[in-house]
Chain A
């Protein structure tokens, strides 16, 4: 009999199996989890190097880097899950700087007892989202915390992209006269989560808008329009993002309520819960500040892209020493659209 018998390792049980403390312990169990669950789904040449860090070629241009922790509850929601959200969220932060996203690092904090099958679904969703976006997950980390010390799974992703020289989108570049464009209807991600959490029947049709926006950004850049600033209005919604830009640029803004694209279901669910869609999170929308003469061209370019079909001009930039974002209400009055106070919806992304 030959002395070297091929070792048999029982594969991970993705049906009944659960995360236990050994999966974060640094031993064989962790190696198996990484190999069978993560590497098999996210695999690429860089991840496959199996070193402590990925060594990557240096692309021409300037590096753009961003990081984002994802703690959404529930983990699975209409239109997505924490996996694709963790990919889109970070890609979008890189994309709105005008950059082409290239690589992601992903770090998982798993709670003891979390079903391996759910983890596999989440990682598969990440893999699909990354592959669709043409982005590679090149390095990662896994930690396990005791039951009760986490909420299933938290995912932190860090993204790296490149932006060509001369392309400078920044929140301090809005000027009086500029127009404000939103790429589509607002508030869908936040309300999809909220509708599920609160079991609001009629709002079941609301689907999260989670999507990677770099393709839309590329189409916008290709239009040649003088884009001053791009930003994705996630937590705090459109209202908070516009207030950030107004303060950074030292300007005021005036919105038209009647121009805001809002789906009927989202408006109804917001009404029901006493929320304002302007403050509800989006995960697949962006706001663009553009020079007035290029507004029409940019709007047309956005509307020609699948993620910008409902793009609309929602207001303009004005001189204002107070840096107020104001809105002409559909009712015919005027009001401030202030910073979000407190926390409208917790654990949204």
Chain B
């Protein structure tokens, strides 16, 4: 098939695998973090790790939008649906993320945790949408109901949210608002690089990053230059196809071997240095930086997320319904925090695959197919079994 199979070609993969084996020096290990969940998914789904030599290791990063959403944010969405009686529109992955009190949006939708026990009353009206535009359409179809779009994600999903907010304003919609939980990639990378595990203790050896694919189409490659210079870590921006990942690993190996720390762009078919200026302007028009935002695993990070500007206050669900964020501690045994920082691997979590499975996720990393735990559970856990035997 055009433009799909070409990037998954087994023959090219074998060629790259040979080049990687030849480039990797025997006397050292290489540790690369793939930032994005999209890369994590590709590595697991296509078995990329099976093609790498033992001394080239991939560390899963925090770039999975639903994984970094803290419990308190899901709670806000549930409160809106259940207590404020709104129609809450959400992307599918977010529905299964565990919230407080054993709830999730999916369980709230089925009526769990609502005050009335009888069937058919006081259910959270929670609907899955494929896009922000779908949520806007729901608002137009239900003029007598309040409709809230639960907007999550990194820079890739932010421009579409900006578009619907502007569109809602232009249409004069009075029943549509957005619960904005959009976060910023560079903040997460900085947090990883500043963490004591990387900086002081060296318990997370990190020789370079595979940089985001889709996020970079929006923000460009320029924002990563600071990390390459300041922290002396090479960054190779790569697409989400398995050959992209293999090629990026080879490029990272060569940089490390040469002692270079540059931003290189493997995904040049879609990413430029400046990114999508139009999208950036749109985002800047509608959103502003939050002073601080709580991330799952990474904690409170200053200026790491966006909120809706005052000029669009009518469309800001936080203002409209006067709901605030309340921090909730993660499950005690859940290692999602450490896994998101690259400190632990999924299989090192005590409850991985036993208490915590994709059917009954305890932590967010077991929810989305981009989450490190879900990817390892769904595609890669045969390797653990082999290790046991």
| Contacts from A to B (Cβ < 8 Å) | 198, 258, 264, 267-268, 271, 322, 324, 326, 328-336, 338, 341-342
Contact = CB atoms under 8 A, between A and B. Distances in A.
A324 B46 contact: no
Given A331-B242, A341-B359, A264 B1 contact: yes
Interface in B1-34: 1, 4, 8-10, 13-14, 17
A271 B1 CA distance: 11
A328 B4 CA distance: 18
Interface string B240-253: 00100000000000
A335 B47 contact: yes
Given A271-B4, A342-B358, A332 B51 contact: yes
Contacts of A331: 8-10, 13, 46-48, 51, 242
Contacts of A336: 378-382
Interface string B48-82: 11110000000000000000000000000000000
Contacts, number: 69
How many B residues touch the partner, as a band? 20 to 34
A191 to B, nearest CB: 14
8 contacts: A264-B1, A326-B382, A330-B8, A331-B242, A332-B13, A332-B17, A335-B46, A336-B381
Contacts of A341: 358-359, 374, 378
Contacts of A334: 47, 50, 382
Contacts of A268: 1, 4
B328 to A, nearest CB: 24
B388 to A, nearest CB: 9
A338 B1 CA distance: 25
Given A267-B1, A267-B4, A332-B50, A338 B379 contact: yes
B49 A333 contact: yes
Given A267-B1, A268-B4, A324-B382, A338 B377 contact: yes
A335 B51 contact: no
Interface of B: 1, 4, 8-10, 13-14, 17, 44-51, 96, 130, 242, 358-359, 374, 377-382, 385
A324 B8 contact: no
Given A267-B4, A330-B8, 14 more contacts: A324-B382, A326-B382, A329-B46, A331-B8, A332-B13, A333-B51, A334-B382, A335-B45, A335-B379, A336-B380, A338-B358, A338-B377, A338-B378, A342-B359
B378 A332 contact: no
A158 to B, nearest CB: 27
Contacts of A335: 44-47, 379-380, 382
Nearest to A265: B1
Output the residue of A258, A324, A329, A334 with the most chain B CB within 10 A. Answer: A329
A322 B380 CA distance: 13
A330 B11 CA distance: 9
A342 B96 contact: yes
A322 B385 contact: yes
Contacts of A330: 8, 10
Nearest to A322: B385
B382 A333 contact: no
Contacts of A326: 382
A341 B4 CA distance: 25
B10 A332 contact: yes
Contacts of B359: 341-342
A60 B370 CA distance: 54
**Top 9 A-B residue pairs of the complex, sorted by shortest distance between their CB atoms:** A333-B47, A341-B358, A333-B50, A331-B46, A335-B379, A334-B47, A332-B10, A338-B378, A329-B47
Nearest to B379: A335
A128 to B, nearest CB: 35
A334 to B, nearest CB: 5
Contacts of B358: 338, 341-342
Contact of A332 (B4, B14, B381): B14
